[in-house]
Amino acid sequence: MFAAPHFHDDEAARRLLEEVRWPSERSCPHCGTVGRSYATKRTQKCGATVYRCGEPECRKDFSVTTNSVMESSHIPLHKWLQGFYLMASSKKGVSAHQLHRTLKITYKAAWFMAHRIREAMRADGTFGPLGGEGQIVEADETYYGHRDDKRLGKTTIRGKRGLAGKRPIIALVERGGSVRSFYAAVADKEAVTKIVAENVARESYLYTDESRLYGDADQLFAEHATVKHSAGEYVRYEGERTIHTNTVENVFSVFKRGMRGVYQHCAEKHLHRYLSEFDFRYNHRSALGVEDEARTLAAIAGAPGKRLTYRRPD
Ligand SMILES: [Zn+2]
């Protein structure tokens, strides 16, 4: 699995990371100056070369890990690349225990690494809305795990007693395209309408189940069609349209299988990070022509510009 040199050699790993971050010329992360830095003789503990900015008013040191999820890490760069590869290529995710065993780093270091890689996988919000003219977007909600704070238990999507205290998740999927998932702390009609309105193009066809949560969608989109799950209806054909929410339900199913099988427990405050991880793999899936290697590089490309600090694993 780790045949390539960058998976076992820090020098090769550094070169790969630098190529991804600086495909043409090296820029200083402190002042943005391009092409005026030079290598010092120093190397960071992770194996990254220390550069010095040649801009007279800056003159600061930096490396390929500066201002990225790998900043200040003592884990060797080649192990970081193994971690990125494992998390990008596994269908259901990789537990901190597995990273700990495979990479031969402490459990604590593995836990931190996994969350930092999730941060690198997080979409940075610069994408436009899902859908568009003639495009179908499916929206649905599900529940995963329980609220850590039982006092929040009464806030549910439909107010059904059986769902009290569960964590609501909303997902929007463009058919043949990308997914965006949200952990909704408060998931009433107002909150759901806001999520849908902010993330789906007005020209789209929106397909949902018959939930009242999407009642306002009729006015917002080119078309809003529903399937009546409560009446046993899962697919309906209207002319050329196939109305269903199976795509988004499959996304939920992969997420839940991974969370139950691999991660088992996750604190409520981290749930959005796991959603980022599963969204990332779906949005870089094989069906779109993205294979393991390209998916790993896409995750690495998301590392700069993001930092994550934690006091302790929990
Ligand atoms: Zn500089």
pLDDT per residue over 152-194, tens digit each?
544 444 544 445 577 899 999 999 999 999 998 778 889 999 9
Task: Provide the token pair at 120.
Answer: 């690198």
Q: Which of 98, 121, 144 is the last residue of a domain?
A: 121
Rounded to whole angstroms, the Cα distance separating 205 from 222 reads 6
What is the reported pLDDT for 167? 85
In a domain, 92, yes or no: yes
| pLDDT at residue 226 in the model | 93
- Region 101-105: mean pLDDT is 97
**Model pLDDT for residues 10-22, shown as the tens digit of each residue:** 999 999 999 999 9
pLDDT(314) > 50 = no
Instruction: For residue 66, give every residue at least 6 positions away whose Cβ sits within 8 Å of its Cβ, in sequence order, or none.
Output: 29, 30
Note whether 175 and 113 are same-domain residues.
Answer: no
Q: What is the pLDDT of residue 309?
A: 61
The per-residue pLDDT of the chain, averaged, comes to: 90
Residues 19 and 73 in one domain: yes
Task: Provide the β-strand partners of residue 170.
Answer: 141, 182
Tell me the average pLDDT across 264-272. 84
Question: Looking at the domain assignment, is residue 65 inside a domain?
Answer: yes
Q: Kindly state whether residue 213 falls inside one of the protein's structural domains.
A: yes
Into how many domains does the chain fold? Answer: 2
Cα of 55 from ligand 1 centre, angstroms: 6
Rounded Cα distance, 287 and 161, in Å: 39
Both 20 and 149 in one domain: the answer is no
Instruction: Please report, rounded to a whole number, the percentage of residues in the chain having pLDDT higher than 90.
Output: 71
Residue 60 CA to ligand 1 centre (angstroms): 6
For residue 27, pLDDT over 50 is answered with: yes
Distance, in Å, from the CA atom of 108 to the CA atom of 98, rounded to the nearest integer, reads 12
Does some domain include residue 43? yes
Q: Report the separation in Å between the CA atom of 64 and the middle of ligand 1, taken as the mean of its atom positions.
A: 13
Q: Measured between alpha carbons, how far is 261 from 249 in angstroms, rounded to an integer?
A: 18
Q: How far is the CA of 112 from the centre of ligand 1 (A)?
A: 29
DSSP string, 118-139: HHHHS--S-S--B--TT-EEEE
pLDDT one-digit tens code per residue, 202-222: 999 999 998 888 888 889 999
Query: Averaged over 38-52, what is the pLDDT?
Result: 97
Domain extent, residue 38, equals 5-121
Residue 240 lies inside a defined structural domain of this protein: yes
Tokens for 185? 């702390």
Say whether both 194 and 94 belong to one domain: no
Q: How far is the CA of 54 from the centre of ligand 1 (A)?
A: 7
> Within a domain: residue 258?
yes
Confidence of residue 94 (pLDDT cuts 50, 70, 90): very high
Q: Is residue 196 part of a domain?
A: yes
Q: Considering the entire predicted model, what is its pTM?
A: 0.90
Please write the tens of the pLDDT for every residue from 70-89: 999 999 999 999 999 999 99
Mean pLDDT of 39-54: 97
Classify residue 115: in a domain, yes or no. yes
Distance 118 CA to ligand 1 centre (A): 28
Q: Residues 139, 206: contact at Cβ < 8 Å?
A: yes
Domain boundary among 69, 97, 121: 121
In angstroms, what is the span from residue 28 Cα to ligand 1's centroid? Answer: 5
Report the alpha-carbon distance of residue 268 to residue 183 in Å, rounded. 9
Q: Which residues is 146 bridged to in the sheet? A: 166
d(C-alpha 101, C-alpha 110), whole Å: 9
48 and 92: one domain? yes
- Distance, CA 63 to ligand 1 centroid (Å)? 12
CA of 218 to the centre of ligand 1 (A): 52
How far away, in angstroms, is 30 Cα from ligand 1 center?
Answer: 5
Q: Quick one: 24 and 62 in the same domain? A: yes
Measured over the CA atoms of residue 98, residue 101, residue 104 and residue 110, the dihedral's sign is positive
CA angle 265/267/268 to nearest 5° reads 125
What average pLDDT score do residues 248-257 get?
A: 95
Phi, psi of 170 (to 5 degrees): -110, 135
Q: How far is the CA of 41 from the centre of ligand 1 (A)?
A: 18
